[in-house]
Chains A and B, each alone.
Chain A
Amino acid sequence: MEIIILPLFLSVLAAAFGSKVNKIVWGALSALTLIAMIWVKSNLNIQNDGVWHTTFDMPWFSSGIHFTLGIDGFTGLMLLLTNILSPIIIFSINRDKQKSLLPLILFMQAALNGVFMAKDGLMFYIFWELALIPIYFICLLYSSKDAFKTTIKFFIYTFIGSLAMLASLIYLYLKTKNHSFAYEELLAVQLNHIESIWVGAGFLFAFAVKIPIFPFHSWQANTYTHAPAQGSMLLSGIMLKMGLYGLLRWYMPIAAESISFYQPIIVTLSVIGIIYGAVIAIKQNDLKRLIAFSSLSHVGLIAAGFFTLTEIGIQGGILQMFVHGINVVALFYIVEIIETHAGSRELSGLGGLAKFNRLFAAIYLIVVLGTAAVPFTNGFPGEFMLLKGVFDYNTISGVFAGLTIILCAVYMLRMYQFSMLGESKTSFKEIGIKQLWPLIILVAIILVIGISPMLILDKVNPSVQKIMLEISNSKGVLS
């Protein structure tokens, strides 16, 4: 509970005093949530046995609707990601006028923590929608007129998706014995084949838009491009993980009866998305658009990995959710630095920036390598596991998905080359070490996970076992 209340409280504070206090203070306060989370976790003395432990429970406006929060390894990892990245996103604010973003980001942090902890269907839905409100304003506040249209499009698109999910949740609610939204009750609902397909469709539509899975991605590139850097970071780093999280935590165990129906469809769409995103990324000129399509490609692989229903695919997917969050935020952070210091984020106008700042060049290179899944960086273990999962599920899909290791190298190295190497076309303002610290933290995470992925996998393994068990209990889809 503290984990939600704290950033919420801070957000109110920030709304009141935001412009008067240095952003570093706010970043540090936001990081407090991380400390609070670790404190709560150690205080509760929760065993990491895969059970989704309830940490807070309070009846709400009807007996069937509870304000229930829970934590397990999977949720813990997502909270870790959210609360590491939020302070870093706050640090990335470097223009004074952007200070009004502060309360919004903190509010977002609270809502996201809620999404990952909610153990009640309605709570999940409410937090899910709450997270949409601040991001809508973040995207809208400091952008051109052009952006208004894309932001509205993004909002309506994802909102329709959310409504579909709500419909599914309500249907399930009506089917529960005691009319309850509690996770366990929803799990226990038995659906026949047709019902499960419709209920599944509601969930899947909401998640597919949010993740996004090809071809539900058309809001993505433009929204990322028009949003301020903080918006792109929140969206790609944490918010799209909501979709992936929902897929594994809510859709798969609850509507498990429909998995066998959707499995080939989603795997195929995801694999198409992997190649589709990568191919488009190859010729992009705008760095943000490039990252948007690269992101489409990467999350496609995660979704495909989940739907293989192999243990290695699911674990790899969870690891990669964390890894992708770290890498993509680092990339957007880098783009923000380049844009503010070199005056452009078009590759055609950049080049040769490496000679100005060696440290920045090295950091950027490591992030690029992490994204391209080079061994000893965090991208490698997850991508290896996901590809193995997809390959085990279907050899042809595995080979096509595997093309990502070639295409990703093509567009990531091109991106690095045209921005950092070659003859310099622009000047590059001095970057203060203060601005690089968040990146150095991210790079350290990239290397540590790359060297020892078991640090994370050990934590989520029990949850994955539990979720897989629930899926197979609901419907003997796993033999």
Chain B
Amino acid sequence: MNSIALILGLPIAGFLINGLFGKSLPKSVVGWLGTFAVLASFVIALGVFNDLRLNPDFQNGLNFKLYTFLNVGNFHVDFAFSLDRLSVMMTLIITGIGSLIHLYSIAYMHEDEGFYKFFAYLNLFIFNMLILVLGSNFMMLFFGWEGVGLCSYLLIGFWYKNAEYGKAARKAFVMNRIGDLGLLMGLFLIFHQYQSLDYNIVLPKIADGSTSVYMLTAISMCLFVGAMGKSAQIPLYTWLPDAMAGPTPVSALIHAATMVTAGVYLIVRCEALFYLSPITNNVIMWVGLATSLLAAFIGLKQNDIKKVLAYSTVSQLGLMFVAIGCGAYTAAMFHLATHAFFKALLFLGSGSVIHAMHHEQDIRQMGGLKAKMPITYITFLIGTLAITGFPFLSGFFSKDEILIAAFEHNKIVYILAVLSATVTGLYMFRMFFTTFHGTYRNHHHSFEKVHESPWQMSVPLMVLAVLSVLGGLLNLPKYLGEGVSHKLAHWLAPILPMAENHSEISHSTEFALLGVAVTVFIIAFLYTRFKYVSRNAVPESDEKTPYLGKLLVNKFYVDEIYDTIIVKPLEMCSQIVDSFVDSKIIGGFVSGISSVLLKISNLNKRIQNGNIEYYLTFMVIALALFLGFNLLF
């Protein structure tokens, strides 16, 4: 049977079985069924990957058409898929990390009454995410794009009895829809220009350079608006921190490793388009940079362990967009992969902590957990080191590649990106030390009861820790030897025909930049260690945070600003239109006509009063007029 059909079919089968019958199945069956559905997809994807790697006849990948979705006039779209080098990479990340997170959820969600629903939604998410990356045209991408948005909505609001969570879920869906409108307009423009939505037809036509740069800029800006929504960039990023209302495995899978990187995938997929739109590239670079810095600074003052990681995700996504803006598409994909490893690890680690602490998420209520949770501690440490750029861990290489690309492109961007990396180090170690070092500070829940998580949770942590350490192997820099370096760049080269892969930077400059990166890491590490370990400081309560800190605690008041300038006016507009325009003006106009008619009829009624004298008078007047008229003309 067709591998693509299997890769897609297994998760949807899992969704259907668990969704329809899960209620009456035992939890263990539900959990393992969901997990194996994704794991099996992963194994099949590995097989395809191997074929792509070894078999030269297989270079164009697999194509698979299921049926014709729409065929109207000249508009034709197939429900079709293709598995090429880029999509197989995404598929491996999605199903690989996906199956680990499914396994983790078996233990994490064990107590939950909606257990089967949770696994059904997770499988549905995997299915939609796979449609997004495997689709062979923009319509399929849009299908998956909206589909993952829906799953995200369902899973953020998973604990539906909490109205706040529901609000967060709706916020995520609506903000994503704003981006989706941009994407949709981009699709219409693409079809208008190229009469097709197929990658295989559209992308070569873009690459041949015959399209005007205005059109390309318009299309690419529309697509980027879509990416802003999904990948949480300024100004559409505020939904992602709120999305932490969902269960922690969801945050790890959807809001860190996979869905939020869809924007990056989209742009890398349309490399030719963005390569030829310099204006859009600049916009992407600056938006990415601003997002990265803003989120990193906000992360400095957050005390909810998941909120810190959420802002960290926004910040890292910003870095990926900086890479794209600088034309370093491979670096963006590289960072996408390593970020998926270490951010999933960190989220799952935080989940393990939250699990042990009975749903406490405030790091000020933790402390000294390393003694009780050795596996979580060590794996979390690895994740923290990876994201902050400890030499030779995955994040070190991928972030470095972005920094080098920025350095080549624009020195100011480089400096600001380094600043963002520094702040990353500060907030990550602040969180890490406050959680695992120092003394235990929670009075509601005794330290004795804190426990290490069961194996279903610790195994994924260990696997992801290994990946976070070794992830750099994907795309080692050149100074480590020609033979082993730039594997990912070579792998993606056929997908990225336009981007030039030669770096003009000399080895000595490169080492100098590495030195900067390592120095920054050491400064962040030592400062936070001094503050939170040696001096045993605890982050102060929100009210006591002074001036600038207050601004950070309140996330620059962006939510409040949106509320004041968009939400409130829209609601007010709704009420005014309903109670005034609709009922008074439009409704009033119609009633007005009828009351005028009524008045006329009343007048008429008065004339027809049955009084003979009246009638005779009118008759005489009428006759006189008639005669006079005849005489005069």
A388 and B75 contact, Cβ closer than 8 Å, known pairs A374-B150, A406-B181: yes
Q: Once the chains bind, are A282 and B142 in contact (CB under 8 Å)?
A: no
30 contacts between A and B (CB under 8 A): A153-B591, A153-B594, A156-B594, A215-B586, A215-B589, A279-B570, A279-B574, A280-B582, A281-B574, A311-B73, A312-B75, A358-B23, A369-B150, A374-B147, A374-B150, A376-B143, A381-B70, A384-B184, A385-B70, A392-B188, A398-B188, A403-B181, A406-B178, A420-B160, A421-B163, A421-B166, A453-B69, A453-B70, A454-B71, A457-B72
Within 8 A of A (CB), among B137-152: 142-143, 146-147, 150
B interface majority secondary structure? helix
Chain A residue numbers with a CB within 8 Å of B174 are 406, 409-410, 413
Shortest C-beta distance, A313 to chain B (Å), equals: 10
Chain A residue numbers with a CB within 8 Å of B578 are 280, 283-284
Chain B residue numbers with a CB within 8 Å of A376 are 143, 147
Q: Once the chains bind, are B586 and A423 in contact (CB under 8 Å)?
A: no
Find the A residue at minimum CB distance from B144. A375
Neighbour of A315 across the interface among B67, B72, B146, B577, CB < 8 A? B72
A218 at the interface (CB under 8 A from B): yes
CB-CB nearest 10 A-B residue pairs: A311-B73, A422-B163, A283-B574, A421-B160, A218-B587, A375-B143, A282-B574, A391-B188, A413-B170, A280-B578
B606 at the interface (CB under 8 A from A): no
New A-B pairs, 14, CB < 8 Å, besides A385-B70, A391-B185, A406-B178: A218-B586, A218-B587, A218-B590, A279-B570, A388-B191, A391-B192, A403-B181, A413-B153, A413-B173, A417-B166, A422-B163, A423-B163, A454-B70, A457-B70
Find the A residue at minimum CB distance from B23. A358
Q: Roughly how many angstroms separate A338 CA and B482 CA in the complex, as a whole number?
A: 69
Q: Roughly how many angstroms separate A422 CA and B161 CA in the complex, as a whole number?
A: 4
Interface string of A411-427 (1 = CB under 8 A from B): 00110010011110000
A63 at the interface (CB under 8 A from B): no
Within 8 A of A (CB), among B567-603: 570-571, 573-575, 577-578, 582, 586-587, 589-591, 594
B68 at the interface (CB under 8 A from A): yes
Q: Roughly how many angstroms separate A156 CA and B153 CA in the complex, as a whole number?
A: 45
Q: Once the chains bind, are A409 and B577 in contact (CB under 8 Å)?
A: no
A355 and B161 contact, Cβ closer than 8 Å, known pairs A283-B574, A391-B185: yes
Q: Roughly how many angstroms separate A413 CA and B178 CA in the complex, as a whole number?
A: 15
Which of the four size classes fits the interface of chain B?
Answer: 35 or more
Neighbour of A392 across the interface among B23, B170, B192, CB < 8 A? B192
Interface string of B14-27 (1 = CB under 8 A from A): 00000000010000
A280 and B170 contact, Cβ closer than 8 Å, known pairs A374-B150, A422-B163, A454-B70: no
B370 at the interface (CB under 8 A from A): no
Interface string of B62-78 (1 = CB under 8 A from A): 00000111111101000
B157 at the interface (CB under 8 A from A): yes
Q: Roughly how many angstroms separate A352 CA and B159 CA in the complex, as a whole number?
A: 11
Find the A residue at minimum CB distance from B582. A280
Chain B residue numbers with a CB within 8 Å of A217 are 586
Q: Roughly how many angstroms separate A280 CA and B578 CA in the complex, as a whole number?
A: 6
Neighbour of A417 across the interface among B170, B178, B575, B577, CB < 8 A? B170
Chain A residue numbers with a CB within 8 Å of B372 are none
Chain A residue numbers with a CB within 8 Å of B68 are 454
Within 8 A of B (CB), among A212-245: 215, 217-219, 221
Find the B residue at minimum CB distance from A361. B160
A157 at the interface (CB under 8 A from B): yes
Chain A residue numbers with a CB within 8 Å of B191 are 388
Q: Once the chains bind, are B575 and A283 in contact (CB under 8 Å)?
A: yes
Q: Once the chains bind, are B574 and A423 in contact (CB under 8 Å)?
A: no
Q: Roughly how many angstroms separate A282 CA and B180 CA in the complex, as a whole number?
A: 20
B177 at the interface (CB under 8 A from A): yes
Chain B residue numbers with a CB within 8 Å of A284 are 578
Chain A residue numbers with a CB within 8 Å of B508 are none
Q: Roughly how many angstroms separate A443 CA and B352 CA in the complex, as a whole number?
A: 39
Neighbour of A402 across the interface among B70, B162, B181, CB < 8 A? B181
Which of the four size classes fits the interface of chain A?
Answer: 35 or more
A442 at the interface (CB under 8 A from B): no
Find the B residue at minimum CB distance from A315. B72
Find the B residue at minimum CB distance from A458. B71
Neighbour of B142 across the interface among A215, A375, A457, CB < 8 A? A375
Q: Once the chains bind, are B160 and A354 in contact (CB under 8 Å)?
A: yes
Shortest C-beta distance, A366 to chain B (Å), equals: 11
Chain B residue numbers with a CB within 8 Å of A420 are 160
Q: Roughly how many angstroms separate A457 CA and B71 CA in the complex, as a whole number?
A: 8
Q: Roughly how many angstroms separate A399 CA and B72 CA in the complex, as a whole number?
A: 22
Find the B residue at minimum CB distance from A283. B574
Q: Once the chains bind, are B188 and A276 in contact (CB under 8 Å)?
A: no
Chain B residue numbers with a CB within 8 Å of A219 are 590
Q: Once the chains bind, are B188 and A387 in contact (CB under 8 Å)?
A: yes
Q: Once the chains bind, are A452 and B573 in contact (CB under 8 Å)?
A: no
Find the B residue at minimum CB distance from A403. B181
Interface string of B158-172 (1 = CB under 8 A from A): 001111001100100
Q: Roughly how many angstroms separate A417 CA and B168 CA in the complex, as a whole number?
A: 11
Cβ-Cβ contact count across A and B, 8 Å cutoff: 132
A11 at the interface (CB under 8 A from B): no
Within 8 A of B (CB), among A363-398: 369, 374-376, 380-381, 384-385, 387-388, 391-392, 398
Chain B residue numbers with a CB within 8 Å of A375 are 142-143, 146-147
Find the B residue at minimum CB distance from A399. B185
Chain A residue numbers with a CB within 8 Å of B181 are 399, 402-403, 405-406
A312 and B73 contact, Cβ closer than 8 Å, known pairs A421-B160, A421-B161: yes
Chain B residue numbers with a CB within 8 Å of A316 are 72
Interface string of A125-138 (1 = CB under 8 A from B): 00000000000000
Q: Roughly how many angstroms separate A219 CA and B589 CA in the complex, as a whole number?
A: 12
A461 at the interface (CB under 8 A from B): yes
Q: Counting chain A CB atoms within 10 Å of each CB, which of B163, B177, B591 scores highest?
A: B177
A282 and B170 contact, Cβ closer than 8 Å, known pairs A355-B161, A454-B68: no
Q: Roughly how many angstroms separate A352 CA and B23 CA in the complex, as a whole number?
A: 20
Q: Once the chains bind, are A352 and B188 in contact (CB under 8 Å)?
A: no
Q: Roughly how many angstroms separate A315 CA and B166 CA in the complex, as a whole number?
A: 36
Chain A residue numbers with a CB within 8 Å of B188 are 387-388, 391-392, 398
Chain A residue numbers with a CB within 8 Å of B69 are 381, 452-454
Q: Counting chain B CB atoms within 10 Å of each CB, which of A280, A375, A398, A422 scores highest?
A: A375
Chain A residue numbers with a CB within 8 Å of B173 are 409, 413
Chain A residue numbers with a CB within 8 Å of B161 are 352, 355, 421-423
Q: Once the chains bind, are A409 and B160 in contact (CB under 8 Å)?
A: no
Find the B residue at minimum CB distance from A222. B587
Q: Once the chains bind, are B70 and A422 in contact (CB under 8 Å)?
A: no
Find the A residue at minimum CB distance from B75. A312
Neighbour of B166 across the interface among A310, A422, A454, CB < 8 A? A422
Q: Roughly how many angstroms separate A221 CA and B591 CA in the complex, as a whole number?
A: 15
Chain A residue numbers with a CB within 8 Å of B573 are 279
Q: Once the chains bind, are A280 and B574 in contact (CB under 8 Å)?
A: yes
Within 8 A of A (CB), among B531-550: none
Find the B residue at minimum CB distance from A215. B586
Find the B residue at minimum CB distance from A279. B574
A405 and B184 contact, Cβ closer than 8 Å, known pairs A283-B575, A421-B161: yes
Interface string of A262-283 (1 = CB under 8 A from B): 0000000000000010011111
Q: Roughly how many angstroms separate A421 CA and B72 CA in the complex, as a whole number?
A: 39
Chain B residue numbers with a CB within 8 Å of A358 are 23
Q: Roughly how many angstroms separate A354 CA and B159 CA in the complex, as a whole number?
A: 11
Shortest C-beta distance, A387 to chain B (Å), equals: 7
Shortest C-beta distance, A188 to chain B (Å), equals: 27
Q: Roughly how many angstroms separate A355 CA and B162 CA in the complex, as a whole number?
A: 12
Shortest C-beta distance, A229 to chain B (Å), equals: 22
Q: Roughly how many angstroms separate A369 CA and B146 CA in the complex, as a whole number?
A: 11
Q: Once the chains bind, are B184 and A402 in contact (CB under 8 Å)?
A: yes
Chain B residue numbers with a CB within 8 Å of A157 are 590
Q: Roughly how many angstroms separate A41 CA and B492 CA in the complex, as a whole number?
A: 56
Chain A residue numbers with a CB within 8 Å of B170 are 409-410, 413-414, 417
Neighbour of B177 across the interface among A351, A405, A421, A452, CB < 8 A? A405
